[in-house]
C-alpha cells in the first residue's frame, strides 16, 4: 500500500554534502540573473531566469504564491536590561485565519518562539519605539512612541502563546510588526538582517501578510520576466500559502512515518480553481514548493468534497497522511476541482481558506502539475523530498551537477526547472 511504503522512507537516503561556501548568503544584484538548471526527460541543461520563457510551452500556466513575509522578529527589553527575542510563528487558534489575526487591533495572541526564554522569569516584557516608521505614521501614530508589551499566556512543547498588546489601538498587528519588527532571514544564512533584505527577501508580487519565510523560487522574477512570459502567451495565476517556521525544521526522525509535517494556511479564490479546471493540456507549472503544495492540496480537498458533499468547513482541511489514504480513489483532477467549486458555491464562498499538512515525497502521485520551479534545498529536508518525488533518484545527479557547475544554494541561491 502506498501509505505504508511512504512511511518507511528513510530520510538518511536524502543526504548530500553542502559546503558552507556554496550557500548564497546574499542575493545577486539582478534578481533574474540567477542560473536556472533545467531537468527534462532525464537530461540536464542550464540557462538563466531571464530566459525562462524559452523553456516553457506557449499556453502553459505558472502559479505563484503571493504571500508576503512579515517582520516577525521582535526584540524586547527586560527590566534588568537584558534582551529577549520573540519570533512570531502563527496566530493563536482562536482566529479563523492569518488575515483575520493580522487585522487585530490593540491586542493579539500569537504562537511564538522565545529566544532566551529561561531568562524571562515572570512579568511582561516591554518594547518602545520612539519614532515609528512610515507604515505606522500613516496609521495615525505620528511621532508618539509606540509601546508594546508581551506576556506569556501559555507554554507548549515547541512554542509559547504570547499575548501582545500595544498603546496605539488604531494600529493593526500587521502594521505593528512593520513598525517594530525585523524580517526573519533563514537561520542558515548565519547573519543579521540588513536594510537591503527588506526588499530582496520579498517577491515583487507579494500581497498578503502572513509568512515568516519567503517563497524563494519567486525571488527571481522581475517585470522583464513577466513581460516575456506574457509575450509567449504563458499565463500566470496566484494562490496564497503562508509559510511557517516549519519550513526551516529539519527532519529529525529516521523515517517519514515518524515525522510530523507543519500545517500551513492556504487561501485560494473560486476564480483560480475555475482557471485550473479550464487549463489546457500544456500544463501547470508551480513556482515554488509552496505553490505546489497548495495546488496538490486543492486536488485532495476536492476529493474529500466529492466523497462528502456535506463536509463541514472545519473538516475540509488536509492532514498529513490523507493524500496517501485517498490515493486509491480514482477521481480526475477536473472532477475533484469541480466538486470543490460546487462545495464553495453551495456555501456562497468565493475564497477557500483552510489548512494543509500535505507531505510530498517519492511515490507521491502528482495530480495537478507538470513541472516545478524551485531553489536548491537543504539536505534531509522535506523540500528535497519534493524534488525527489518529481525526479526520482536523478535528484542526486541534479544536485551533483549544480555543485560541480557553481550553482548557488538555498534561499538567495540559483534555481531549477524540473519537469515530471
On the question of pLDDT at 233 being above 80, the answer is: yes
Do 117 and 219 belong to one domain? Answer: no
> Does residue 12 sit in the same domain as residue 148?
no
Residues 173, 117 within the same domain: yes
Q: Is 268 helix (H, G, I), strand (E, B) or coil?
A: strand
Domain check: are 63 and 159 in the same one?
no
Residue 48: per-residue pLDDT: 98
Q: For residues 162-181, give the mean pLDDT.
A: 93
> What is the pLDDT, as a whole number, of residue 135?
46
Q: Indicate if 307 and 216 belong to the same structural domain.
A: yes
Of 151, 181, 211, the one marking the end of a domain is: 181
Specify the pLDDT at position 137: 43
Domain ranges, residue 151:
72-181
Domain end marker among 148, 181, 214: 181
Do both 31 and 150 map to the same domain?
A: no
- At residue 280's C-alpha, the angle toward residues 276 and 286, to 5°, is 50
The pLDDT, as a whole number, for residue 138 is 45
The model's pLDDT over 360-381, given as tens digits with 9 standing for 90+, comes to: 999 999 999 999 999 999 999 9
Helix H or strand E segment including 344: helix 333-346
Is there a contact between 390 and 289 (Cβ–Cβ < 8 Å)?
no
Asked whether residue 186 is domain-assigned, the answer is no
Residues 100 and 37 placed together within one structural domain of the fold: no
User: What is the tally of structural domains in the chain?
Assistant: 2
Report the alpha-carbon distance of residue 332 to residue 380 in Å, rounded.
Answer: 32
Confidence of residue 40 (pLDDT cuts 50, 70, 90): very high
Tracing cell 528535497 back to the chain, one arrives at 384
Q: Is residue 150 located within the same domain as residue 289?
A: no
Residue 365 and residue 220 in one domain: yes
For residue 254, what is the domain's CATH number? 3.40.1780.10
Lowest mean pLDDT among 12-26, 256-270, 392-406: 256-270
Quickly list H helices, 167-321. Answer: 173-180, 197-200, 223-231, 270-278, 289-307
Q: Are residues 245 and 354 in the same domain?
A: yes
Amino acid at each position: 500500500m502506498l501509505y505504508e511504503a511512504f512511511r518507511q522512507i528513510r530520510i538518511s537516503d536524502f543526504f548530500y554534502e553542502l559546503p558552507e561556501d556554496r550557500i548564497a548568503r546574499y542575493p545577486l544584484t539582478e534578481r533574474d540573473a540567477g542560473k536556472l538548471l533545467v531537468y527534462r526527460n532525464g537530461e540536464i541543461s542550464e540557462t538563466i531566469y531571464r530566459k525562462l520563457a524559452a523553456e516553457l510551452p506557449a499556453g502553459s500556466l505558472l502559479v505563484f504564491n503571493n504571500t508576503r513575509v512579515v517582520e516577525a522578529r521582535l526584540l524586547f527589553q527586560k527590566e534588568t536590561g537584558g534582551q529577549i527575542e520573540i519570533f512570531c510563528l502563527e496566530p493563536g487558534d482562536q482566529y479563523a485565519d492569518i488575515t483575520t489575526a493580522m487585522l487585530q487591533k490593540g491586542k493579539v495572541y500569537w504562537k511564538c518562539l522565545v529566544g532566551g526564554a529561561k531568562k524571562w522569569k515572570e512579568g511582561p516584557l516591554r518594547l518602545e519605539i520612539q519614532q515609528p516608521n512610515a507604515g505606522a505614521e500613516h496609521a495615525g501614530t505620528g511621532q508618539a512612541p509606540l509601546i508594546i508589551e508581551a506576556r506569556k499566556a501559555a507554554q507548549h512543547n515547541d512554542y509559547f502563546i504570547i499575548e501582545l498588546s500595544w498603546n496605539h489601538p488604531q494600529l493593526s498587528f500587521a502594521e505593528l510588526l512593520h513598525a517594530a519588527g525585523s524580517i526573519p532571514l533563514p537561520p542558515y544564512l548565519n547573519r543579521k538582517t540588513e536594510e537591503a533584505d527588506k526588499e530582496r527577501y520579498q517577491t515583487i508580487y507579494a500581497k498578503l501578510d502572513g509568512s515568516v519565510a519567503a517563497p524563494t523560487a519567486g525571488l527571481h522574477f522581475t517585470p522583464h520576466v513577466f513581460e516575456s512570459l506574457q509575450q509567449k502567451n504563458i499565463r500566470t495565476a496566484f494562490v496564497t500559502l503562508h509559510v511557517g517556521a516549519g519550513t526551516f525544521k529539519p527532519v529529525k526522525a529516521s523515517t517519514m512515518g515518524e515525522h510530523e509535517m507543519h500545517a500551513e494556511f492556504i487561501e485560494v479564490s473560486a476564480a483560480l480553481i475555475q482557471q485550473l479546471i479550464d487549463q489546457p493540456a500544456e500544463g501547470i507549472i508551480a513556482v515554488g514548493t509552496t505553490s505546489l503544495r497548495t495546488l496538490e492540496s486543492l486536488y485532495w480537498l476536492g476529493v474529500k468534497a466529492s466523497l462528502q458533499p456535506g463536509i463541514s468547513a472545519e473538516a475540509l482541511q488536509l492532514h498529513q497522511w490523507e493524500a496517501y489514504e485517498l490515493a486509491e480513489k480514482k477521481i480526475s483532477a477536473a472532477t475533484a476541482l469541480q466538486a470543490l467549486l460546487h462545495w464553495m458555491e453551495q456555501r456562497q464562498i468565493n475564497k477557500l481558506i483552510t489548512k494543509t499538512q500535505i507531505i510530498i515525497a517519492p511515490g507521491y502521485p502528482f495530480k495537478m502539475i507538470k513541472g516545478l520551479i524551485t531553489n536548491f534545498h537543504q539536505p534531509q529536508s522535506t523540500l528535497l523530498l519534493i524534488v525527489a518525488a518529481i525526479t526520482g533518484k536523478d535528484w542526486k545527479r541534479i544536485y551533483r551537477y549544480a555543485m560541480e557547475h557553481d550553482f548557488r544554494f538555498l534561499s538567495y541561491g540559483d534555481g531549477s526547472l524540473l519537469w515530471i
